[in-house]
Amino acid sequence: MTMRMPGGPSLPRALRMPNMPRVLRMPGGTRVLSGARGVLRAAVCATVLAALVGATVSPAVPASPAAPASAGSPAPARAARAEVPAGVTAGVAVFDRRTGTFTEQLNPGGRFRSASVVKLLIALDLLWGRSPDTLPAADRARMDSMLRGSDDSAASTFWAANGGGAIVDRMVARLGLTDTARPPATHPGYWGYTALSARDTVTVYRYILDTAPAAVRDHLMTALRGSTRCATDGYDQHFGIPGSFERPWAVKQGWSGFSSGGCTTTANATARTGTGTQASEVSGAADVDLTRPALHTTGVVGAGDRTIVAVLTLHPAGTAYGRAHTDIGRLTRSLNVPGATRPSGTWVGTWGSGVRVRSGTTTASGALTTLPAGAEVLVGCQRRGQQVSVPPYTNDWWAYLPQYGGYMTNVYLSAPENQVPGVPVC
């Protein structure tokens, strides 16, 4: 039997969620799960739930020593402090433009498939030798959608019109990129299979900020500052940098190999031409993994665009988007990012799918978005509102999520009590 929260998702009736309270507040009173039977029931149900949501919390593993800096780097890499979750492969580069030094480097030259980060190169190639205001109106609108909402159809249009892999070849030569390469010959139309590294990503941003004509710089950075929470394909793209630091920031994110990404209940889960295909369909360069799910966060953080951050990640096959969303967030928050302001609040895990963030503390309040299933959220404060029942749980507390500007019922927070300990009342 399943139960549906008003305006929310359906889920199995009698599952006990990980870290959910032993004291269950029911409409007719309070039931206490204690003793061996209660502990066993909690353990069994937690195991079942983990299989359903496809997400388990993994301890961080020590970061490996940083690779040598690329030629021309202002300073050698020091030992990285990046906390990489278990099972995740990462390439990290953090560059402080004020001091001209890297504050973090972990596998900076490692080559990853770019996913949508290559859209930076597509845009730069389109604007090479011209001002944005000389573009036809349709192309200018298409480029803005490609950068703000990560519009795949726009990228595919430019890719086909401007030479495909030749775009990458031109930008490698123009910017002096060392690890970037066009997609493998087996997949020439898959711009998301372009090889890219964290250090080359830093080079791209340094060109935009320090060398590109002012009109090009301003146009591109305005678009990246206007990154929308929901991408055009229905994925929540405010992970990593946007989730870890307060504005000002500007980002270009990338994802490939996931089945759904929150934001809307009707998200298009089908892989687009440029982003990827199922693992069984690909065969490319031996040194670029085209199969594992990829999630990348890149951009600049702080006043004056002080620090460039590039975090490229691969996740175990079958990883849910919410799990990867959480892992890249934890990794990004562990980094030394000069000039960054970290948001206040408490990070709390969630469970369930299709969980809505609403404008108020009732299920009748307008839905602002949906959360990626199982993603961690930053809770700023909490208040009482409408009582919500998802048997066997009942809760009238609601959490305010400052990064979403709305509320979610505490029923779907993985917390030990109905009221999250240590979180203030709104």
pLDDT tens string 106-135: 999 999 999 999 999 999 999 999 999 999
Does pLDDT of 31 surpass 70?
A: no
**CA distance between the termini of the chain:** 36
Q: pTM to 2 decimals? A: 0.79
Please determine, for residue 343, whether its predicted confidence score (pLDDT) is greater than 80. yes
**pLDDT at site 111:** 98
What pLDDT is stored for residue 81 in this prediction?
Answer: 79
Q: Are 349 and 380 in contact (CB under 8 A)?
A: no
pLDDT of 51 over the 80 cut: no
Instruction: Give the pLDDT score at 80.
Output: 47
**What pLDDT does residue 264 have?**
63
pLDDT at 8: 41
- Rounded-to-integer distance, Cα 262 and Cα 264, Å: 6
| Average pLDDT of the residues in 42-70 | 35
Residue 196 · residue 285 · CB < 8 Å: no
- How far apart are alpha carbons 6 and 370 in whole angstroms? 14
Average pLDDT over residues 248-253: 98
Confidence of residue 55 (pLDDT cuts 50, 70, 90): very low
More confident residue, 82 or 331: 331
| CA–CA dist 291, 283 (Å, integer) | 9
Mean pLDDT, range 291-296, rounded to an integer: 97
Nearest to 240 by CA among 290, 305, 303, 312: 312
At 329 the pLDDT is: 98
What mean pLDDT comes out for the span 362-385? 96
Listed range (72-76, 318-322, 376-380) with the worst mean pLDDT? 72-76
- Give the whole-number percent of the chain exceeding pLDDT 70: 76
Q: Residue 261: pLDDT above 90?
A: no
% pLDDT > 90, the chain: 72
279 vs 354, higher pLDDT: 354
Specify the range with the lowest mean pLDDT, choosing from 60-69, 84-93, 321-330, 361-370: 60-69
Please check the confidence at residue 386 and state whether its pLDDT lies above 80: yes
Judging by DSSP bridges, how do beta strands 29-32 and 195-196 pair with one another? unpaired
- What average pLDDT does the structure give for the chain? 82
